[in-house]
Each structure stands twice: as C-alpha cells, then as structure tokens.
Amino acid sequence: MNSRARTPWQDSEVAIVGPGRVGQAMGRLLKEAGIRVRFVAARRLAAARRGVRFIGGGEPLALLNPRLLEARTILLTTTDSALPEVAKALAGTGVSPDAWRGKVVLHTCGSLSSAVLQPLKRRGAAIGALHPFQTVPNPTAGVRNLRACYWNIEGDPAAQRLSRRWVKALGGVAFHIRRTQKTLYHLAAFLVCPTLITLMEKSARLLRRAGVPEGVARPMLQRFVTETASNFATLGAKRAMTGPVVRGDWATLERHLNALRKVSPDVVPLYRELLRAMLRLVREQKAEGKRLKGER
C-alpha cells in the first residue's frame, strides 16, 4: 500500500487470539488492508506460529501472554464455546486496574453477542462483535470470500466504529442488529448453509444411484443451486419457485416418495417435512396473490 495513502486508523494494530480458519483469513486480510498484525496468540505456540506464517506477519504468543495488552485491538476468533473462558482469562491479565482501558476487543461469533466479553468491559475495554455472513471452510477460502461480504456488527460505540472501518477496508457491507436477536440471526444463517450442504450431499447420492457420473454430479449441482439462489435474490420466493408443488403435480410427488422409500428410507421424513413447508409457502403466496388482486 502507498504510504501517502494511509489514513491514521490504518496504522492501528490488532492481536489475533485463536488463529483458526477465520482468524488466519482475517489476519491476512487486515494486514493487506494496512493494519499491523502485532501478535497471533494460541494455546499451542505451534498453532500461533502457523497463523503467523499464513498471515504473513505478527509475533507468535502463548494465549495469555500479558504482552497482548500492547496491542490496541484484540480480535478473538476462538470457537464459540471457548469465548466465555477466554474472555474471563484475558480479563485476568494486566496488573493495573485499568489495564484494558482504551482497548477494543471484538469477536467473530454469530450466535453470541458482545455481552460474552463483559469481563473485559469491566476492566475498561470497549467490546463488540463483528460477524461475517459467510462460510469459511479454510483460511484460503476466507481470504477470497470475506472480501466484499456482509458483516453484522454490534457492541460499544468505539467497537462499532472500528468494525465499520474494517468492513469498509475489506469492501464489505456492515449492518447492525440488536444484541438480543443474535440467536435468530445465526439460525437464519444455519438454515441455509450447513443444511444446504447436507441436502446437496443427499441429492448427489441420489444422482449417483440414478447413474449420473461422479464428475458430472458435483458441477451440475453447483450450477443448479447457484441459479436457484440467484433467482431467489432477483425474483423473490414466489416467482423463483418451480417444480411439481407449484404445478400441483401430485402423481410425481407420489412417485418420488415410492422411489425414496426403496433407495433411501431415512430421507423420507425429511422429504415429507420439506414438502409440507413448500406447500404452506405456495398456499400463502397464492392467498397473498388473490388478496392483492382483490385490492386492485
């Protein structure tokens, strides 16, 4: 980056705590955006070193090394379940009572709010959460797909300000929701990501059973699902929905169920539930269409 183009915040610095998939990807991206990655801390020094190598900067530290307090911003990217204990343990570091004053501590968990960082707030830190609505299966994928993505941010004003600047630097879109709504928000993400992988895997198995070559099934599913997602985004659910439920083709649905009972009986309950949900949606949409027609 051209040094004359640097703005003061870009000269700020961050310590990454818990360099897994998201931690390593964010470390690399923040570094590329001009933010100094000062430390990478993990419970095993070897993991901290691996993080430093991937990020391309930072000093590896043990998890609770008090030197972490030399960084102005701490980004916690540990697993969700580790956040309460890590926040509590970190709050125990630093000798002076206001050792954490002036620091910003953020985490990247979607289902827990920034309140999980309260022990650090009690010691003077501004706390916040910044969650990418994105799937990061490995650090390299994160470097690619955390650019220009959507980020939910919440927390203390200083934490939100910093989060917005980071999101802007990554070319993303930031939005705010209330702390109390994070479980719902995360549930919405859950409903369309790991579940979609599960459905795609089940679909791929059926394709294999039907004799579709392995090399065709995966790219074919990719094309199909990408198109479906794009239609949902551009047309909305009502106009994007196709298939036998929309056409009222009950004979085909019956044939599906008969075939499923033979080849994959474990999937029958899932098929039935999805069918019920689809029918409710189609009925709701038809009722809405009639109501709107009546109003005209």
Q: Can you give the binding site for ligand NAP, defined by CB under 6 A?
A: 18-23, 42-44, 47, 63, 77-80, 82, 85-86, 108-110, 131-132, 134-136
Q: Min. distance of Cβ 217 from ligand NAP in angstroms?
A: 24
Among 76, 169, 165, 167, smallest CA distance to 125 is for 76
Nearer to ligand NAP, 74 or 217 (CB): 74
CA dist list (Å): 169 to 1, 7, 34, 235, 282:
12, 11, 9, 31, 41
- CB of residue 246 vs ligand NAP: minimum separation in angstroms? 32
CA distance 88 to 123: 11
Cα–Cα distance, 190 to 43 (Å, whole number): 28
Q: How far is the CB of 290 from ligand NAP (least distance, A)?
A: 41
| Nearer residue to ligand NAP within complex by CB, 174 or 246 | 174
CB of residue 174 to ligand NAP, shortest distance in Å: 15
SS3 of residue 42 by DSSP: strand
| C-alpha of 252 from chain center | 37
Q: Is the separation of the CB atoms in 52 and 75 below 8 Å?
A: no
CB of 102 to ligand NAP, least distance (A): 24
Q: Are 93 and 68 in contact (CB under 8 A)?
A: yes
Structure tokens at 182: 């994070």
Nearer to ligand NAP, 50 or 205 (CB): 50
Q: Cα angle vertex 12, ends 11, 17, to 5°? A: 135
Q: Provide, rounded to whole angstroms, the least separation between the CB of residue 76 and ligand NAP.
A: 8
Residue with Cβ nearer ligand NAP (77 or 163): 77
Tell me how far apart the alpha carbons of residues 53 and 293 are, in angstroms, rounded to a whole number. 62
Around Cβ 221, how many Cβ atoms within 10 Å? 17
Residue number, 42 or 74, with CB nearest to ligand NAP? 42
Q: Indicate the residue among 78 and 113 with the shorter CB distance to ligand NAP.
A: 78
